Amino acid sequence: MIAAAKKALNLLPRGRTTRPASRITAADVAAARRRAELAARREALFAREIDYIPCRQFLKADAEALATKPPADAAVPLESRDGPPADAKGLTPYLASLYQNRLLSKDEEQFYFRRMNWLKFRAATTRGRLDRRRATLRQIEQVEGWLTEAETVKAILITSNLRLVVSIAKKFIDPSWTFDELVSEGNVALMRSVEKFNFALGNRFSTYATYAIQRHFFRISHRGRQQRRRFTPADESLRSVPAAEPAQGCNSVQIDQLKELFKKFLGELEPREQQIVVARFGFDGRAPRTFRELGAEMGVCKERIRQIQTRAMEKIRGMATEAKLEQTVGDWL
């Protein structure tokens, strides 16, 4: 009897059986939805660009303490209780409200830039160690939390420097642009400057941002002058004064001068920076290579290639500014 029962048990199918479709429960649907959402968040996290300024301090043992502890003179809130200054009179309510945000001290400024870039550095390095297919929800939320906090710190830096844009825009009033449009363009340049500023050099951000915003204003002012020369109003064509000749491009001599100058700029870069710039923009006669292609060729990740290119382009912009290249080309045109 016992032997017969054992034999019958051995004949039963072993292993897990598939649940019929008609018996799929709400819990199964919810679990499938959670898996799909997790997969989508993984994909979004690994596709996200994380830009930061590399700093040797981030590799030291006290990096987290330096990026977490605010300076002694830090004060919260950042809003100023004083009324708007004389410079704010006559401005729209929005522009006047910018003067309610106080300026950051040098130590506060250094702290916020260090914290923003350190948070991005930590997020990028942690993400680099995660498995694209198996990253858990907790790991994803941790990285996203660092990036969200970095954006909050970035907003503080932008907000505390918005009045700088207003003060510079007043000097670039142009018939082609309204004052509000100039301020809007300047805000875009300010946001880029916050991303590109190297706090480790010890300079004040306002000095760096002023040059960046002025460069942007010079560029759009030059563009406006070109448009006015190329497009003549209808009533202007009725006058006897001959229309201005359209702007001509650079001649061969000027192009050769630009080539020599750019060759000099490349020579000032480090060998790896020079190699990446040449390859990325096809200056070697080949098709421009992507970050991924150069990373595989040089044995590093594509994010590292992008960081080196950013650093190299900043150096070239600095050299171009010192050489007054934009002003020279504007005079030629």
pLDDT tens per residue across span 180-208: 888 889 999 999 999 999 998 888 999 99
For residue 241, the model assigns a pLDDT of 42
- Quickly state the pLDDT bin for 260 (edges 50, 70, 90): confident
Is 228 inside a domain boundary?
no
Residue 313 lies in a domain: yes
The structure tokens 């303490």 sit at 65
Answer yes or no: is 219 within a domain: no
The CB-side HSE value for 109 (13 A sphere, CA atoms) comes to 23
Judge contact between 198 and 53, C-beta under 8 A.
Answer: yes
Instruction: Provide the domain count of the chain.
Output: 1
Q: Mean pLDDT, to the nearest integer, of 38-52?
A: 93
| Pairwise CA distance, residues 91 & 100, whole Å | 13
Asked whether 203 and 115 are in contact (CB, 8 A), the reply is: no
Percent of the chain residues topping a pLDDT of 90: 32
Residue pair 216/185 in contact by the 8 Å Cβ criterion: yes
pLDDT category of residue 12 using cuts at 50, 70 and 90: very low
> What confidence score (pLDDT) does residue 84 get?
57
Cα–Cα distance between 54 and 104 in angstroms, integer?
23
- pLDDT recorded at residue 126: 95
237: confidence class by pLDDT, cuts 50, 70, 90? very low
Closest CA to 307 of 196, 159, 212: 196
pLDDT of residue 238: 41
Residue 174's Cβ-side half-sphere holds a number of Cα atoms within 13 Å equal to: 20
Please name every residue paired with 232 in a beta bridge, in sequence order, or none if there are none.
none
Looking at residue 204, its pLDDT comes to: 92
In a domain, 190, yes or no: no
| Residue of higher predicted confidence among 242 and 154 | 154
| Domain assignment of residue 56, yes or no | no
More confident residue, 248 or 181: 181
The predicted pLDDT at position 97 comes to: 79
pLDDT of residue 197: 93
pLDDT of residue 41: 93
Q: Provide the mean pLDDT of the chain.
A: 80
pLDDT at position 209 is 93
The domain that holds 277 is classified in CATH as: 1.10.10.10
Residue 296's pLDDT is what?
A: 84
pLDDT given at position 114: 93
pLDDT of residue 187: 92
Q: Which token pair is 30?
A: 């919810």
Task: Answer yes or no: is 319 within a domain.
Answer: yes
Q: Residues near 152 by Cβ (< 8 Å), separated by ≥ 6?
A: none
Residue-range definition of the domain harbouring residue 311? 254-333
> What's the rounded mean pLDDT across residues 235-247?
44
Instruction: Provide mean pLDDT across the span 286-303.
Output: 84
The CA-CA-CA angle for residues 166, 149, 165, to 5°, reads 5
